[in-house]
Amino acid sequence: MLRLVRRFHLTDNPRADILSGLTVALALVPEAIAFAFVAKVDPLVGLYAAFFVGFITSILGGRSGMISGATGAMAVAMVGLVTVYGAEYLFAAVFLTGLIQIGAGVFQLGKFIRLVPYPVMLGFVNGLAIVIFLAQLGQFKTPAVEGVEEAYTSEGSHSAIDVLFNGGWLTGNDMNLMLGLTLLTMLIIWAFPKVPKLGRLIPSSLVSILGVSFLVIGLDLDTKTVGDLASVAGGLPEFHIPMVPMTWETLYIILPVSVTLAAIGLIESLLTLTLIDEMTDTRGRTSQECVGQGLANTTCGLFGAMGGCAMIGQSMININSGGRGRLSGITAAVALLGFILFASTWIEMIPLAALTGLMMMVVISTFAWASLRIMHKIPKEDAFVIFLVTTVTIFHDLALAVFVGVIVSALVYAWKSANKVWVTVWHNKEDGNKVYKLHGPLFFGSISKFRDEIDPKNDTEDDIVIDFSRARVWDHSALEAIDALAVKYKEAGKTLHLVHLSRDCALLLNNAKDMVEINTIEDPHYGVLVDYSELAEQK
């Protein structure tokens, strides 16, 4: 019972979490509307998704202080399905997405996010910071919605940098006013924390939004507002079973989309979780976060919402505003629903410049500036991975960028490891045999060097020993190489002894089984890193 209380502890600082949550809620409104347009669904579908995903993950997710909602990465993957089959198929796909994510949590697949190398994390952070920056440039266009939509193609892929080249920029006084208000917002966010006493009581982000909003309303300045995007007014979300045929054909249509959405949602959520872990020096629970995201998306599918995942921009706003507990995310979600039900008129009056300035400050705080300073100090392969992940995130999407980064990092590691294998050879005069002692990892990348170092045709001794006490057999390719070597020695009429192999390797060998000598020195078993926080709680 005590573990459950600790796991679902709401807050240590109610005032900071509530004020931070209100700030986040204001920033969620234009984002949810914009992503709804990207997915080609009604704005309320995006707003309801931000409420459900934000509320459920704040309560049941594995990371306090992290904000979830409708996201652009998932919205892009929805476009093709909505365009061809309609919104009802999207709701069915989102429901199935949630089930897949719950399954990932139940089987504890979230722990594999810890295999993502640090250079990939840096590329992820830098890429998303640049994407957030480019997305805000759409607010400097007219109309804003077109600026957002033109960054995405009808085929469902996008290049965030397209916003620089598709025209439609504001001109004259409109541009000057938008720039001025944006810079004023950024100045307030930077300066207000330096105000004695008061700077620590109220989040500077909230002060900037309210201050710029009152300035625009009081002076009756003609600038774009949230209401120019779409109406925020609506009622309570209603339970709605997706109106699609319950057939195998329907499953065939929605399953590929659901798998894609589940992968994108979990990758972005778990990487954001890892980033907040590092910022706050705490530890989130990956498996629980998978289940929380899954329950949120399943609920969205049953209430006509577009689903979502963790949002790095809003999460940074929350953390920088002092939000650390689950109460901050709950406050943001409830406040967002309150805006829809009761305060839409006021919310629609907020100038977009204030929210743009807020997101620009998020860009500055999110980008890993230190990565630029260390580029010449780290291995060139790691620098390349950082650049590659950042570039792919900007020109395509996050999920592909992470996959590419992990694959390239794995190949680099495999290549380096393959060059760390060597063999020492000596002749044992007492026993009259030749001994090969293998050093380093034996796997698919190093078996070629292993074969070159040991040549049965040129061995003059009849008794050969291969010692694996300083080696590690990693994969099936290595086992096949050992088996093939045993066959060659047998055909050459020589006796081969394989010593210090682990029991599991000996069991998997076919041709060399009779030549294996099990010694007390054995290879240890190396498993995937487990979630120690979850393991500790289970104990």
Q: Letter for the amino acid at 442?
A: L
Coil vs helix vs strand at 144: helix
Q: Is the pTM of this model over 0.85?
A: no
Q: pLDDT tens across 110-129, in order?
A: 888 878 888 998 998 898 88
pLDDT band at 534 (very low <50, low <70, confident <90, very high): very low
Helix (H, G, I), strand (E, B) or coil at 240: coil
Q: Which amino acid is it at 191?
A: A
Residue-wise pLDDT tens digits, 393-411: 888 877 788 889 999 999 9
| Environment class of 157 (CB within 10 Å of its CB; exposed 0-12, middle 13-18, buried 19+) | middle
Q: Which residues contact 108 (CB under 8 A, 6 or more apart)?
A: 286, 287, 531, 534
- The pLDDT of residue 409 is 92
Predicted confidence band of residue 366 (pLDDT cuts 50, 70, 90): confident
Q: For residue 156, what pLDDT is reported?
A: 39
Q: Which of 49-58, 239-248, 497-506 shows the lowest mean pLDDT across its residues? A: 497-506
Domain ranges in the chain are: 17-153+160-394, 422-517
> What does the pLDDT read at residue 530?
41
Residue 101 has pLDDT above 80, yes or no: yes
DSSP 427-476: EETTTTEEEEEEEEEESTTTHHHHHHH--GGG---SEEEEEEEEEEE-SH
pLDDT (mean) for 30-46: 87
Give per-residue pLDDT as tens, 440-478.
Answer: 899 988 998 888 888 888 888 888 888 888 888 888 888
**Residue 1: pLDDT over 90:** no
At residue 227, the 3 state secondary structure works out as helix
Residue 230 has φ and ψ, to the nearest 5°, of -175, 165
Query: What would the pLDDT profile of 299-321 be if each residue is shown by its tens digit?
Result: 999 999 999 999 988 999 999 88
Helix (H) or strand (E) holding 299: helix 286-302
**What are the pLDDT digits (tens) for 262-273?**
998 999 899 999
Do 405 and 386 touch, CB atoms closer than 8 A?
Answer: no
DSSP 394-440: HHS-HHHHHHHHHHHHHHHHHHHHHTT-EEEEEEETTTTEEEEEEEE
- pLDDT, averaged across the chain: 85
Please tell me the distance from the alpha carbon of residue 478 to that of residue 382, in angstroms, as a whole number: 27
* Cis bond before residue 143 (omega within 30° of 0): yes
Asked if the 422-517 domain carries CATH number 3.40.50.300, the reply is no
Residues of the chain with pLDDT > 90, as a percent, come to 45
Q: For residue 200, what pLDDT is reported? A: 74
Q: What is the mean pLDDT of residues 67-88?
A: 89
**What is the residue-wise DSSP string for 307-326?**
--EE-HHHHHHHHHTT--SH
On the question of pLDDT at 364 being above 80, the answer is yes
pLDDT tens digits along 139-164: 898 764 444 444 433 333 456 677 78
Q: Reply yes or no on whether the pLDDT at 73 is more than 90.
A: no
In the chain, % of residues over pLDDT 70:
90
